[in-house]
Amino acid sequence: MDKQSMYRTLLTIGLHLIVAQAGAQEDMARLIKENFAFADSQYQYMMKQLPPDKMPQSYDEKNKKFIAYQRTWWCTGFYPGSLWYIYEQTGDPVIKNEAERALKVIEPNKTYTGNHDLGFMMYCSFGNAYRITKNGSYKNIIIQSAAALASRYRPRAKVIQSWNTNQYFKGPVIIDNMMNLELLYWTSLNGGDAKYKEIAVTHSNTTLQHHFRPDFSSFHVIDYNMETGDVIRKATWQGAADCSAWSRGQGWGLYGYVMMYRFSKDKRYLDQARKVAGFILNHVNLPKDKIPYWDFDAPYIPHAKRDASAGAVIASALLELGQYTKGAEKEGYVSNAKDMIISLSGEKYKAKVGENGGFLLKHSTGALPSNSEVDVPLIYADYYYLEALKRYKDWYL
């Protein structure tokens, strides 16, 4: 082949690649638009099932029972948060009105100190509301909520205590707690007390020290002596075993350290996120469709239950991790997240219109060892799925 022929061949190949890439992006843009329209329809159906004083949690398909909980349940911020994501993309006033109504139901949580979940409850909800509307009253509620969360900080142990002392744990801190730090850090940067940011950083550093194994998987629960900071034991509550890698917990850890890097630009957090992502993406038990089993060490793999919520959390976190990396590394994170989004948007995981209690996704697992919320829709799976769709649209289209 002469040089001129070689150049023509290379040019043709390049043009084909550009066309193929453009086609793939058009497919993703269409998928995202269609799924926000689907979400608008489903959540309008869900509204009709929802008691006025509760927030949706799940749906029991066998007994055709819609499950909703009182405002202090840890998941109550995900419904209004999801509504705001949907409204942002569709502009549907019906969705906005319901989002505003739901915020009023959970607003009293701004002074709730019963657990560490104020980030989930009040930042996923009022944080999105303020970001979209810039309503100052929403910002004030966020700041009050940060004060309530900070009340659970234990300075001698240098952590935020997750649950109260109980028959199983003296001073439990769970990996999920990384997610609630966003409320604290954001508040310090937006008119709140600077100590909240310091608490978030200190908790992150203590978690780095104690929560992770040499392979960068995470324990679920670290039980601390809150007077001395000593670790009493390392355990699980929702995973398969104390030594296992509970899948959603790995997602919480990944997401939490990506988020902490976003705020602090501390490279230790970025490095930790990369290593946790490596554990997840390179694990021998990660299925081909990239939606994890409920635990990476679950018994009965490949027949173990999946956890769509873990897939949604991980996909959203990987898309943000792609914002802070370059080249082949970035492409790997984004490509894997895209695969997860496509899987979740397929027939296996996505509900049909008017079914599934109005929830978007099927096949999530809450706490299998307790036989609680096994292979069901869960409100937080929907929330992080919608967030992943938005992030892909905003950053990669």
> In the structure encoding, which two tokens stand for residue 83, read together?
């509504």
Give percent above pLDDT 70 in the chain.
95
Q: Smallest Cα–Cα separation from 177: which of 74, 123, 256, 270?
A: 256
Q: Establish whether 117 is a catalytic residue.
A: yes
Q: What is the pLDDT of residue 159?
A: 98
Q: Which of 40, 117, 297, 382 is catalytic?
A: 117
Set 176, 223, 297, 382: catalytic member: 176
- pLDDT range class, residue 39, cuts 50, 70, 90: very high
The whole-angstrom separation of Cα 60 and Cα 186 is 36
Task: Give me the pLDDT at residue 120, please.
Answer: 98
In this predicted structure, what is the pLDDT of residue 18?
66
Mark whether 176 is an active-site residue. yes
Where along the chain do its domains lie?
A: 25-396
The whole-number average pLDDT for the span 325-332 is 98
Residue 16 clears pLDDT 60, i.e. is over it? no
Q: How far apart are CA 391 and CA 341, in angstroms?
A: 11
Task: Please compute, for residue 393, the number of CA atoms within 13 A of its CA located in the half-sphere on the CB side.
Answer: 17
Region 178-195 average pLDDT: 98
Fold observed for domain 25-396 = Glycosyltransferase (1.50.10)
Percent of the chain with pLDDT strictly greater than 90: 94
